Chains A and B, each alone.
Chain A
Amino acid sequence: DVKVTQSSRYLVKRTGEKVFLECVQDMDHENMFWYRQDPGLGLRLIYFSYDVKMKEKGDIPEGYSVSREKKERFSLILESASTNQTSMYLCASSNPGGQSYGYTFGSGTRLTVV
């Protein structure tokens, strides 16, 4: 089974801190995604990557950046955390050659910015 691992389940950070959320997948997937999920808003795409060192903005990239130095790891960076970035963050990966297999998610990081 594909496994997607997010480094932290819960995080509490202060306003203005730089925050790193890490995601690692172990099935050699090319595509990786970062979403945030908020009540009533569903999952919203922040950034995605289809290859090492490649990144594309999603629907809500403001206030975030990403890094993909290795195929298995996709990091989300909050440059200066703000309270409106309190959310559940979900990482996912997929194989472009097998879209019928869907997307596999990590267990999520619940971030609280105080």
Chain B
Amino acid sequence: RKEVEQDPGPFNVPEGATVAFNCTYSNSASQSFFWYRQDCRKEPKLLMSVYSSGNEDGRFTAQLNRASQYISLLIRDSKLSDSATYLCVVNRGGSYIPTFGRGTSLIVHP
């Protein structure tokens, strides 16, 4: 099992739709979790951290399920500008070294 796994997609959704991505991780000792966004030919940028109790930032909601070892990202009311690749990031065990998933591609169309 890969350390961090994501469905590569693409997820092709209309504007206004709700879309959700999952990411599974293999190391139960991992403590830090993030979602990053990467636009084409640009660097990854932090979208949001993922906290144990779940957290929300506007249209974006992130959740952590430690028992099943996955994190999720929910995007409500999708905008054209949400089109990007979403990377799941998990720290390796108790370290500060991040492991990146290969990303999930989202395409929002009119």
Tell whether, in the assembled complex, residue A42 and residue B101 are in contact, meaning their CB atoms are under 8 Å apart: yes
Which of A40, A90, A102 sits near B34, CB closer than 8 Å? A102
Tell whether, in the assembled complex, residue A40 and residue B49 are in contact, meaning their CB atoms are under 8 Å apart: no
| A50 beta carbon closer than 8 Å to chain B | yes
Which of B31, B44, B91, B102 sits near A41, CB closer than 8 Å? B102
In the bound complex, residues from chain A placing their C-beta under 8 Å from that of B49 are 100-102
Min CB gap A51→B, angstroms: 12
In the bound complex, residues from chain A placing their C-beta under 8 Å from that of B42 are 107-108
Tell whether, in the assembled complex, residue B46 and residue A104 are in contact, meaning their CB atoms are under 8 Å apart: yes
Please encode chain A, from 72 to 114, with 1 for each CB lying within 8 Å of some chain B CB and 0 for all others. 0000000000000000001000101001111111111000000
Min CB gap B47→A, angstroms: 9
| B100 beta carbon closer than 8 Å to chain A | yes
In the bound complex, residues from chain A placing their C-beta under 8 Å from that of B91 are 99
In the bound complex, residues from chain B placing their C-beta under 8 Å from that of A101 are 46, 49
| B62 beta carbon closer than 8 Å to chain A | no
Q: Which chain A residues in 34-72 approach chain B with CB under 8 Å?
A: 35, 40-43, 45, 48, 50, 58
In the bound complex, residues from chain A placing their C-beta under 8 Å from that of B45 are 105
* A31 and B98 alpha carbons, distance in the complex (Å): 11
In the bound complex, residues from chain A placing their C-beta under 8 Å from that of B44 are 43, 90, 105
Which of B43, B89, B97 sits near A107, CB closer than 8 Å? B43
In the bound complex, residues from chain B placing their C-beta under 8 Å from that of A102 are 34, 36, 46, 49, 89
Residue of B nearest to A107 (CB): B43
Min CB gap B87→A, angstroms: 8
Residues of chain B having any CB pair with chain A under 8 Å: 31-32, 34, 36, 42-46, 49, 51, 87, 89, 91, 96-103
- Beyond the given A45-B99, A58-B97, A103-B98, could you list 4 further A-B residue pairs with CB under 8 A, ordered by the A residue number? A42-B100, A42-B101, A103-B46, A108-B42
Question: Which 3 pairs of residues, A with B, have the shortest CB-CB distance?
Answer: A42-B102, A105-B43, A102-B46
